[in-house]
Chains A and B, each alone.
Chain A
Amino acid sequence: MSPKASLSIAIAGSGGAGALTVGNLILEAASAAGWQGLLTRTVGPQIRGGEAAALIRLAAGPVECMPDQFDLLVGIDWLNAHRFGSEIPLGPDSLVIGDPRGGDRPDNFAQSGARIVDIPMKEMAKAIPDGRPNMIALGIAGQLIGIGEEALDRLIEKQLAGKGQLAIDSSRAALKAGYAAAAGLELGHRLPPPAARSARRWLASGNETTALGAIRGGIRFAAAYPITPATEILEWLAPALPKVGGSLLQAEDELAAINMIIGASFGGTPALTATSGPGLSLMIEALGLATAAEIPIVVIDVMRGGPSTGIPTKSEQADLNIAIYGLHGDAPHLVLAPQSVADCLFTAQWATYLAETLQAPAIVLSDQFVGQARAAIDRPADVAFIGQRARQTEFGETYKRYALAANGVSPMALPGARGGQYTADGLTHTEQGTPTSSAVDHQSQLDKRRDKLDRFAYGVHWATIEGDGDIAVITWGSLTGAAREAIDRAAHDGVNATLIAPRLLSPVQPDQFAAALKGKSRILVVEQTHGGQFHRYLRAHYELPGEVRVLNRPGPLPIKPGEIHAALTKWRT
């Protein structure tokens, strides 16, 4: 996507100014008009209230990352807006609209060379009974984006239906005043018209699509301990699970949460928990138990800045190491990562299917960016991955729960089945499940658990591979969208690159990776970590041909498509 193919708008305001409401209304109205888009929010450290900014990017097609620069910034007021300075990059093409009485405008907004226009939103709102400046800001943004006034008008009526006629009338009047105030203004470029609709339209966050994907894959039990930025998954599941015959239990901590889902799955119910880094750290011992006792579970880790409490509200990809290598002993398990809000649906569903099929724990590495972003997207196509656990219901003399099956997956007896009684155990065990310290049993059970994952045919979904240039951009997770956009732009500059983004991070896929890298002479690794964890992971498991460069940075600032584009176009041989 070229910079002119999209339009990016930031709405900022102090606590109670209603910037986020404006952002949500813009996304919804633009989506109803046929555009696709992404909305992220950035808030101050206060638990409730405090300054907030809504960042919106709209385009005719899918939007999977934030832009290099915002085209429009509307400050309902400027109180504490400096906190967002680095998150709202502006340039000479940008337009900044603010209230001259809204406090001191942060210097860096003007230093960017952006055009500055004053509109007295507060004063205008005062002239309207019960008028609110944020509805004037909505009108200004609506006018400049090119959203029809009637569309926002209808949306306001719908949203405020419960608040009485005065609230509706005053908001409409303020909206109208905003449209009028921005009538003579123009942005640097216009938003290309929306494409004709081919699918139903969804408005959802990555955390919500993750939760739905998990249910579609078969999840019917969840255990919950709240943590930012994963809580929305659990809160979405709480009312949804009972509708499909499932249930959710609030746990006393993450140690309980993961052991609860292990208990549920032992009983035959596909089960999930969702957490972030601090919670994942507490779950590690039990993940090893699920590996050893071969109990399928799904753990969603919505990554935030770390280590320790880190930055709870901002994204990072630095849980890669703990997810892949954190378990003690040799403990093969599944690690997957979704690449966009739409892909959260697929990846959570596929992870559930794989965990159930392979009787192994699956960790899904989502992140704050994709988890809490709201997206207007085409409804993703349905996929057929539904967890089917191999089960045994008829038993002979001795049932071997951990029989050395050819594909490593031994059929499971569920409690209640007569003759299938066994004890699931984290101790090294025989094929029957009896504890042992025999070298032969230890080796053969370790082989079994490795082979069942290694020998499985994961198919094309293991990675996103696009293009055929001789530079490979290798990235993962929510950076995939930025890398795709950068590659697309580089192609217009005559630089051909290939995107390789593994969705399945563990077990590694050496043959498929080698095939994807065939003929590449240069490799650019892109990741959101301080320590280059993904680069080291690639080095450990794959042969990387030619010259390798790494573009890595920790959170909280996302890596922008322009930075990847610059790394590609500057890299001329």
Chain B
Amino acid sequence: MSVVDLQRTCKPADYKSAVKPIWCPGCGDYHVLMSFTRAFAQLGLPPEQIAVISGIGCSSRIPAYTNCYGFHGVHGRSLAVAAGLKVTRPDLTVVVASGDGDGYSIGGNHFLHACRRNIDMTYVVMDNRVYGMTKGQPSPTTEPDFDTALSPGGTGLSPFHPLVIALASGANFIARCFSGEPNETADILVEAIRHPGFSFVEILSPCVTFRPDEKEWKSLVHPAPVATTNDPARAARRIMTDDGFNIGILYRGERRPYGPEFGAQAADLAELECEFEQ
């Protein structure tokens, strides 16, 4: 790519599409979109070299709002789509976008195996601790006393801890961000995308409509008080004991990313039928 090309694609606006988001005014996801475009611009990647893959939910609408190649699939399966794409197109930068329902509930199994498989991609979960799109039901990260029509008096269940699960399952990079800090989030996304293997970025992104209480997050979040570690045991202890509002890169591992060995193109497909020949 020429220098001129690079300059052409260096502004965040170049990564935004003309499609108008369906999000409620004030939704945290607007800021996540802003962080995406800023991160892509910082990386200087041509938009056509990026694929943004998602499932279903308010958060999963993000691909069409970018000017990258996008894939808006079915509920919970974005990581699988991304795995098939990245393994066959290692030249692309693959970013997966999900919500706490999409990623931790219906897609929970894929989350474990994507961490374990460690294919080079970045997984962003916009956690608002609620099912926004279906209008306010509890998700795996919702507090036990969150009272809804579907869970009168609350679920009584303790929330799921995505970062610990990611660490235990083998994710190679783990960070927590707050959507209300788009510059910091963009910086972390840049690091996550650059880091080889499976990078997991949990973005606290308030649902102003069904969780107005989450507007308080602004005052609760704070930078992680300690430096990033590459030691999973230390990272585990920190993540397990922090208050859930620690922002920063919490773990940076050194596992080798998964990639199949591609054989050279056989000169002749006929070779494959040899074993049938008598």
Which residues of chain A have a CB within 8 Å of any CB of chain B? 28, 31-32, 200-204, 208-209, 212, 215-216, 220-221, 223, 240, 242-249, 251-253, 255-269, 271, 285-286, 288-289, 293, 376, 379, 413, 415-427, 433-435
B260 in contact (CB, < 8 A): yes
In the complex, residue of chain A having the shortest beta-carbon distance to the beta carbon of B92: A415
A423: which of B46, B72, B262 is its contact (CB, 8 Å)?
A: B72
Complex Cα–Cα for A141 and B162 (A): 63
Task: Report chain A residues within 8 Å CB of B86.
Answer: 263
**5 shortest A-B CB distances, which residue pairs?**
A423-B70, A263-B84, A260-B84, A259-B80, A263-B81
Complex Cα–Cα for A192 and B261 (A): 50
Complex Cα–Cα for A212 and B269 (A): 9
Given A212-B272, A244-B269, A421-B69, A267–B85 Cβ distance below 8 Å?
yes
Complex Cα–Cα for A424 and B64 (A): 9
Task: Report chain B residues within 8 Å CB of A243.
Answer: 263, 266, 271-272
B83: which of A208, A263, A418 is its contact (CB, 8 Å)?
A: A263
Task: Report chain B residues within 8 Å CB of A204.
Answer: 276
Task: Report chain A residues within 8 Å CB of B229.
Answer: none
Task: Report chain A residues within 8 Å CB of B68.
Answer: 421
Task: Report chain A residues within 8 Å CB of B265.
Answer: 244-245
Given A263-B81, A424-B72, A244–B88 Cβ distance below 8 Å?
no
Q: How far is the CB of A347 from chain B (nearest CB, A)?
A: 17
On whether the beta carbons of B64 and A423 are closer than 8 Å, the reply is yes
Task: Report chain A residues within 8 Å CB of B80.
Answer: 251, 255-260, 263
Q: How far is the CB of A533 from chain B (nearest CB, A)?
A: 27
Given A255-B77, A423-B64, A245–B262 Cβ distance below 8 Å?
yes
Given A252-B110, A289-B73, A425–B64 Cβ distance below 8 Å?
yes
On whether the beta carbons of B88 and A240 are closer than 8 Å, the reply is no
Q: How far is the CB of B162 from chain A (nearest CB, A)?
A: 17
Which residues of B, 52-86, contact A by the 8 Å Cβ criterion? Answer: 53, 63-64, 67-74, 76-77, 79-86
On whether the beta carbons of A416 and B85 are closer than 8 Å, the reply is no
Which residues of B, 246-278, contact A by the 8 Å Cβ criterion? Answer: 260-266, 269, 271-273, 276-278
17 contacts between A and B (CB under 8 A): A204-B276, A245-B265, A247-B260, A255-B80, A255-B110, A259-B74, A260-B80, A262-B81, A263-B71, A264-B87, A266-B85, A267-B84, A269-B88, A376-B278, A416-B92, A421-B47, A421-B48
Complex Cα–Cα for A251 and B81 (A): 11
In the complex, residue of chain A having the shortest beta-carbon distance to the beta carbon of B271: A243
Task: Report chain B residues within 8 Å CB of A288.
Answer: 74
Complex Cα–Cα for A256 and B264 (A): 27
On whether the beta carbons of A202 and B81 are closer than 8 Å, the reply is no
On whether the beta carbons of A249 and B266 are closer than 8 Å, the reply is no
On whether the beta carbons of B266 and A262 are closer than 8 Å, the reply is no
On whether the beta carbons of B261 and A242 are closer than 8 Å, the reply is yes
Q: How far is the CB of A379 from chain B (nearest CB, A)?
A: 8
In the complex, residue of chain B having the shortest beta-carbon distance to the beta carbon of A260: B84
Complex Cα–Cα for A529 and B80 (A): 34
On whether the beta carbons of B110 and A215 are closer than 8 Å, the reply is no
Best-surrounded residue of A246, A262, A419, A427 (most CB of chain B within 10 A): A262
Given A243-B272, A255-B77, A425-B72, A435–B64 Cβ distance below 8 Å?
yes
Q: How far is the CB of A177 from chain B (nearest CB, A)?
A: 27
Complex Cα–Cα for A88 and B130 (A): 60
Complex Cα–Cα for A421 and B18 (A): 12
Which residues of B, 193-212, contact A by the 8 Å Cβ criterion? Answer: none
Task: Report chain A residues within 8 Å CB of B269.
Answer: 215-216, 244
Best-surrounded residue of B17, B73, B109, B278 (most CB of chain A within 10 A): B73
Given A242-B261, A264-B84, A415-B92, A422–B77 Cβ distance below 8 Å?
no
B149 in contact (CB, < 8 A): no
Complex Cα–Cα for A426 and B75 (A): 10
Complex Cα–Cα for A489 and B49 (A): 62
B89 in contact (CB, < 8 A): yes
B242 in contact (CB, < 8 A): no
On whether the beta carbons of B84 and A223 are closer than 8 Å, the reply is yes
B278: which of A203, A245, A259, A260 is its contact (CB, 8 Å)?
A: A203
Complex Cα–Cα for A532 and B86 (A): 43
B226 in contact (CB, < 8 A): no
Task: Report chain A residues within 8 Å CB of B19.
Answer: 434
Task: Report chain A residues within 8 Å CB of B71.
Answer: 263, 266, 293, 423-424
